[in-house]
Amino acid sequence: MNIQFKKGVLELCVLSILNEKECYGYELINELSNAISISEGTIYPLLRRLKKGGYVTTYLQESQEGPPRKYYKLTELGKETKKELQEEWYTFTKGVNELLRGGEQNE
Partner DNA sequence: ATACAGTACCTTGCGTTAAAAGGTACTGTA
Partner DNA sequence: TACAGTACCTTTTAACGCAAGGTACTGTAT
Residues that bind a copy of itself (CB under 8 A): 1-9, 11-13, 16-17, 19-20, 32, 35-36, 85-86, 88-89, 92-93, 95-96, 98-100, 102-103, 107
79 CB-near residues (< 8 Å, 6+ apart): 19
Cα distances (Å, whole numbers) of residue 30 to 33, 40, 45, 87, 88: 5, 10, 16, 25, 26
The correct pick among 20, 35, 41, 98 for binding DNA (CB under 7 A) is 41
Taking the least distance from each CB to a copy of itself, the nearer of 59 and 92 is 92
Q: Should residue 27 be labelled a site residue for DNA when binding is judged by CB under 7 A?
A: yes
The correct pick among 21, 39, 54, 80 for binding DNA (CB under 7 A) is 39
Count CA atoms within 13 Å of residue 38 on its CB side: 26
80 CB-near residues (< 8 Å, 6+ apart): none
* Partner that binds at residue 35, options DNA, a copy of itself, none, CB closer than 5 to 8 Å by kind: a copy of itself
